[in-house]
Amino acid sequence: MAVDITVKIGGEAGQGIQTVGDLLTLVCHKAGLYVMAINDFESRIRGGKSFFQIRISDKPVYAPHHRVNLLVALNQRTYDSYKDELVPGGISMMDVKGEPEENQLPVPINDLAVKAGKKITANTVAAGACLGLLGAPFELFESILKDRFEGKGGDALEMNLSAARLGYDSVKDAKFPWSFTWQFGDPKGSVLNGSKAIALGALAGDCRVAAFYPMSPATGIMVNLSSLSDDFPLFVEQAEDEIAAINMVIGASFAGVRAMTSTSGGGFCLMTEGLGLAGMTETPIVVVNAQRPGPATGLPTRTAQGDLMFVINASQDEFLRFVFAPGTPSEAFEMTERAFHLADKYQVPAIVLTDQTLNDSLYITERPLSAPREIERYVVGDDQIDSPSEYRRYAITSSGISPRALPCSGKALVLVSGNEHSEDGHISEAITDRMNMVDKRNAKTPAMLEEMRPPERYHAESELLLVGWGSSKGPIRESVDRLREDGISAGCVHIADIWPFRADLVQKALSSCKSFFVVEQNSTAQLGRLIREQTGLVAEGSVLKYDGRPFFPDEIVRGIKAYLD
Amino acid sequence: MAVRDYLRERFFPHMWCPGCGHGTVLNNLLRAIENLKIEKNDIVMVSGIGCSARISGYVDFHTLHTIHGRALAFATGVKMSRPDLNLIVPMGDGDALAIGGNHFIHAARRNIDITAIIMNNRIYGMTGGQFSPLTGYGKLATTAPYSNIDHDFDAVSLATAAGASFVARTTTYHVKQMADIFQKAILHKGFSVVEVLTQCPTYFGRKNRAGSAAEMVENYKKSTTPIGSKASQENSDLIERGIFIEKDLPEYCGEYDKIIQKAMKGK
């Protein structure tokens, strides 16, 4: 029997939803299953309404499912809010006072926790009951708890094992229609969220200085980077604001190390002047913008794809930049590493555009993460300069790329200015200098375009194509599978290397279909507008979602079918 | 190395107005560096925007001429990457304490080894004489034609409160003291702030009937006094000059280095 089960664990912030979710994820991963889990929470530390929703499958899954088989309701409000998401036969496991409803399975979670030793073990009781219902062997759970609590001191392990057993046994007579036999071989790849993938990608790209100001949903990247600094010499600076963060990063890069910052839309707004300075001074930097709905504070802990046009155009006047929008943690890792490489090579800023869904959701990543063997640095020393004492930082070259010497590393004196400048980096208002410098900076365009990889295509020969970018990749692919099951000739195109825009490759990818639809998490179809601007091709329609929650494949299928009917 | 070797004379004549005090600051800064015998290759000068920031165009150092108010943030990034270098950041009063005020207090708080020079002429010169946070109550500016109602910061108190471990004030009249303070500030291990009262005859002077450049300079002699002098005790209107704070506190990059060692456990 194919396994495809969704478990939703809901309660107040601070109740330990995350712990139950983590335990389930670890057990499933160890059992060789695939998972994809989303985190939904409000902008508060205690109270409110949060959930962790995990989809468990024997096949790779890259999207959440909109219907729930098992609801773990840590309070009544969770049950009231989400009971309608239960599939027929689905159950809600919870503490029940009085007579249970038909779809409720009463488990005295808190009483069992007290019995195990402490109320705090309620999460382990709940996880135990969940795994019991799913038919998981208890030994598997036991081994995960040992990994987690052994060496923690005191009676933590013993207490949690007892809580796990009590929870597990409490449901042994219950019937759960989707209980299955747990035999799937070795663990598949590793469990990773986008935040950690980006942090690892930064290390793979030889990042040595990172500066940031806390902002959801980007903060996780820097928290991960900080925790990795026990293995890598790394300077992670929490700056006074985003303006300082990006400027510190430009300073660090000027001095010769690879550097990055990460933020969300509001912080990116503050960084735009600095972004322009990186453009003007041709200083390589990497900026991650983890999108959330806006404008202003918007929905701080939720997801969106509303900053595409913004990051492509951010800061005054015109200058080159790279923009990448990865679809999975594995791509986020690779693209972050590549962003460092390409920023360095072309002396331009590179932006990695992600969102709350990608940053905070757990995915199984099967492709091994690998760092380049050698970091190629595009800098020159005195020995590579004909006459170091006459070094000119912005020497005109046919490629537009001037040899980059580092300050205080030789005889070559490095002058950099955010004002328009002459070849030697000194301020200049001369017409020829202005024209030469704009043309020099723009001359990098053809080579930068060559670096951009073609969109990823799936059933590309189809009559109808869905076109998307960023984290909606998984949901779009799955919706294509479902449309095809219904006899519709559908495929999809995912654009991850977004800017500079390869109009030729996008045109080619869309040339054979009868019609294409853009699928995006914004309200004005920004990618659709970009494609039209760059290729002249007009989307037949769009499936747009801007409620701050991640895409479910089902919504896309329904959206497309509405056009076809 | 002679002072002239630190200058980029090919960019002269400089862009400052006749009588401007900024040239005096440049002169004494270079003399201080010459006295300390610092190699060009060990100095990075970072500046922002404004008349003061243009200093970086006339010195033959590695320079980073950036955007308004952000020079200290860049300098912090440079210092984090190359703690061995001498970082000198000349700023104007608006550059340092209006648009750059946040970076200023946080750099002071970190006590990062940077020499910050506030060239305080009490006005935005390059944009045409608008009032700055150091203009002062009752003064005139193009944007305060009926007199300014903003009170000014005391840059020395602000830097001290924010945690700078070296804080000094001098003027363009007291050139020997200026060069001496610059030397000490550059040698000091930590965040050093030197406020230099410098005349802007073109805007502040003209608007406020402060007289010619020479008279403005002369007035620095009359209106200031050494810290704790008898004159100071008798007349509280006098502005004190000298070194207010000079203390040995843990420096930021040194502290960070310890964290790296701790995290990596000698790996």
The ipTM, to two decimals, is 0.93
- Total CB pairs under 8 A between chain A and B: 138
Residue ranges of domains in chain A, CATH in brackets? 4-187 (3.40.920.10), 192-365 (3.40.50.970), 379-451 (no CATH), 456-564 (3.40.50.920)
Which positions in chain A touch B44 (Cβ < 8 Å)?
255, 407-408
Q: Are A417 and B65 in contact (CB under 8 A)?
A: yes
B104 at the A interface (CB within 8 A)? no
Query: Which single residue is written with the structure tokens 């986020």?
Result: A332
| Window 266-295 of A, Cβ < 8 Å to B | 273-274, 277, 281
Judge whether A231 is closer than 8 Å to chain B, CB to CB: yes
Distances (CA, A) of A45 to A14, A301, B61, B119: 7, 11, 50, 46
| Pairing relationship of beta strands A235-238 and A207-212 according to DSSP bridges | parallel
Give whole-number Cα distances, A437 to A343, A346, A396, in Å: 19, 15, 8
Q: Which two tokens stand for residue B92?
A: 């104007």
Which residue in A281, A407, A417 is closest to B62 by CB distance?
A: A407
Res B216 pLDDT > 70: yes
The token pair that represents A439 in the structure block: 């043309």
Assigned token pair, B140: 């005139």
Question: Is B44 near chain A, with CB under 8 Å?
Answer: yes
Task: Average the pLDDT over A420-427 and give the result.
Answer: 96
Q: Which chain B residue has its CA at the smallest distance from A406's CA?
A: B62
- Distance, in Å, from the CA atom of A413 to the CA atom of B61, rounded to the nearest integer, reads 7
Q: Does B62 touch chain A (CB under 8 A)?
A: yes
Q: Say yes or no: A259 contacts chain B, CB-CB below 8 A.
A: yes
pLDDT in tens, B20-71: 999 999 999 999 999 999 999 999 999 999 999 999 999 999 999 999 999 9
Q: Is the peptide bond before B18 cis (omega within 30 degrees of 0)?
A: no
Cβ distance of B81 and A239 shorter than 8 Å: no
Region A61-79: what's the mean pLDDT? Answer: 96
Q: Among B34, B33, B32, which Cα is nearest to B2's?
A: B34
Minimal Cα distance from B82: which residue of A? A255
Closest partner CB to A408 (pick from B62, B67, B265) = B62
DSSP-assigned letters across all residues of B150-211: PPPP-HHHHHHHHT-SEEEEEESS-HHHHHHHHHHHHHSSS-EEEEEE---IIIIIHHTT--
Q: What is the mean pLDDT of chain A?
A: 96
Torsion over CA: A425, A428, A433, A438 (sign): positive
What is residue B10's predicted lDDT score, i.e. its pLDDT?
Answer: 87
User: Is residue A1 over pLDDT 80?
Assistant: no
- In this structure, is the dihedral angle defined by the CA atoms of residues A120, A123, A124 and A125, taken in order, positive or negative? positive
For the segment A139-167, the average pLDDT, to the nearest whole number, is: 93
pLDDT tens by residue, A335-389: 999 999 999 999 999 999 999 999 999 999 999 999 999 999 999 999 999 999 9
The C-alpha of A550 sits at a distance from chain B's nearest C-alpha, in angstroms, of: 36
With a cut of 80, say whether residue A89 has pLDDT above it: yes
Cα-Cα-Cα-Cα dihedral of A99, A105, A106, A107, to 10°?
A: 180
Secondary element (H or E) of residue A515: strand A515-520
Cα separation, A52 vs A66, whole angstroms: 13
Using the beta-carbon criterion (under 8 Å), do A251 and B46 form an inter-chain contact? yes
Q: Which residues of chain B are within 8 Å of residue A413 when distances are taken between CB atoms?
A: 40, 60-62
Q: Does a cis peptide bond (omega within 30 degrees of 0) precede residue A500?
A: yes
- pLDDT confidence bin for A153, thresholds 50/70/90: confident
Instruction: Give A-chain residues touching B62 at CB under 8 angstroms.
Output: 407-408, 413-415
pLDDT digits (tens, 9 = 90+) for A516-562: 999 999 999 999 999 999 999 999 999 999 999 999 999 999 999 99
Q: How confident is the model at residue B265 (pLDDT cuts 50, 70, 90)?
A: confident
pLDDT of residue B190: 98
pLDDT at B240: 98
Q: How far apart are CA A196 and CA A226, in angstroms?
A: 11
CA atoms within 13 A on the CB side of A439: 12
Does any CB of chain B come closer than 8 Å to the CB of residue A408? yes
**Of residues A230, A245, A427, nearest to B57 (C-beta):** A427
**Domains of chain B (ranges plus CATH)?**
8-266 (3.40.50.970)
Per-residue pLDDT of A290-302, as tens digits, reads: 999 999 999 999 9
The number of residues making up chain B comes to 267
> Would you call B16 an interface residue with chain A, using a CB distance cutoff of 8 Å?
no
- Per the CB < 8 Å rule, is B78 touching A231? no
User: Considering only CB atoms, which chain A residues are within 8 Å of B64?
Assistant: 251, 254, 281, 407, 416-417
Per-residue confidence (pLDDT) for residue A230, from 0 to 100: 84
**Alpha carbon distance B197, B200 (integer Å):** 10
Question: How close, in Å, is residue B216 to chain A by CA atoms?
Answer: 30
Across the range A259-267, mean pLDDT stands at 98
The CA-based diameter of chain A, rounded to the nearest angstrom, is 89
CB neighbours of B13 closer than 8 A, spacing ≥ 6?
none
Whether B74 contacts chain A with CB within 8 A: yes
> In this complex, is the C-beta atom of B76 within 8 Å of any C-beta atom belonging to chain A?
yes
Q: Do A407 and B44 touch (CB under 8 A)?
A: yes
For residues A541 and A563, the answer to whether their CB atoms sit within 8 Å is yes
CA nearest to A245 within chain B: B73
Q: Tokens standing for A100? A: 């249970």
Residues of A in contact with B256 (CB under 8 A): 235
Task: Tell me if A256 and B82 make a contact (CB, 8 A cut-off).
Answer: yes
DSSP state of A228: G
What DSSP letter does each residue of B132-143 carry, written as one string? Answer: -TTS-TT--BTT
Give A311's pLDDT tier (boundaries 50, 70, 90). Answer: very high
Query: B109-155: per-residue pLDDT in tens?
Result: 999 999 999 999 999 999 999 999 999 999 999 999 999 999 999 99
- For residue B81, list chain A residues with Cβ-Cβ distance below 8 A: 208-209, 235, 251-252, 255-257, 259
In sequence order, what DSSP letters do the residues of A250-300 get, joined into one string? HHHHHHT-EEEEEE-HHHHHHHHHHHHHHHHHT--EEEEEEE-S-STT--T
Q: How far apart are CA B185 and CA B179, in angstroms?
A: 10
Q: Which of residues 241-260 of B touch A (CB under 8 A)?
A: 256, 260
- CB within 8 Å of B232: residues ≥ 6 apart: B225, B226, B238, B240
What is the C-alpha separation between A201 and A198, in angstroms, rounded?
Answer: 5
Looking at beta carbons, which residues of chain A come within 8 Å of B82?
Answer: 255-256, 407-408
Residue range A157-214, pLDDT digits in tens:
999 999 999 999 999 999 999 999 999 999 999 999 999 999 999 999 999 999 999 9
Which residue of chain B is at minimal alpha-carbon distance from A260? B77
* Residue A530 contacts residue A352 (beta carbons within 8 Å): no
Query: Residue A406 pLDDT more than 80?
Result: yes
Q: Say how far apart CA A427 and CA B66 lie, in whole Å.
A: 11
Question: Is the CB of residue B65 less than 8 Å away from at least one CB of chain A?
Answer: yes
The residue of A250, A393, A424, A428 whose CB has the most chain B CBs within 10 angstroms, and thus the best one to mutate to test that interface, is A250
Q: Tell me phi and psi for residue B24, to 5 degrees.
A: -65, -40
Are A230 and A370 in contact by the 8 Å Cβ rule? The answer is no
> Is the C-alpha dihedral spanning A273, A274, A277, A282 positive or negative?
negative
The residue of chain B with its CA nearest to that of A256 is B81
CA neighbor of A397 nearest in space, from A380, A372, A374, A418: A380
Q: How many CB atoms lie within 10 A of CB A383?
A: 7
Q: Is the confidence at residue B266, as pLDDT, over 90?
A: no
- pTM to 2 decimals? 0.96
**How many CB atoms sit inside 10 A of residue A123's CB?**
26
* Minimal C-alpha gap between B155 and chain A (Å): 20
Measured at the CA of B114, the angle between CA B111 and CA B119, to 5 degrees, comes to 110
The beta-carbon neighbor of A277 closest among B66, B76, B260 is: B66
H/E segment holding residue A104: strand A104-106
Q: Do A229 and B263 touch (CB under 8 A)?
A: yes
